[in-house]
Amino acid sequence: MSCSPHPQRHLADLAAGEHAVIADIDRTACGEAVWRRLHEMGFDEGVDVEVLHRAPLGDPIALRVGNMTIAIRRAEAALVRIEASPLPLAAE
């Protein structure tokens, strides 16, 4: 159980244009293969993430993870726990 005053949020909860920082990935829920694939794509603790676009039915979700643009399924995004981002990402 978390001692955080705010309920735990997941990447799948963010709307287009919202920013956050990756807190961790629920390794027990996703399994080793998915966890490894997310890490290989740059989903690491402390990395800035922004939701760029959601498909009309919610899948996939286009994200900026660090300096990369990636699309993942909503189910995978639900495994990534996030924290509020202190500042929006800088425009490039």
In a domain, 4, yes or no: no
Q: Which domain holds residue 60?
A: 9-84
d(CA 3, CA 76): 25
In a domain, 91, yes or no: no
CATH number at residue 16: 2.30.30.90
**How many domains, the chain?**
1
**Residues 13-66 pLDDT 10s:** 999 999 999 999 888 787 888 888 988 999 999 999 999 999 988 789 999 998
Q: Is the pTM value of this prediction over 0.85?
A: no
Which pLDDT score, from 0 to 100, does residue 30 have? 76
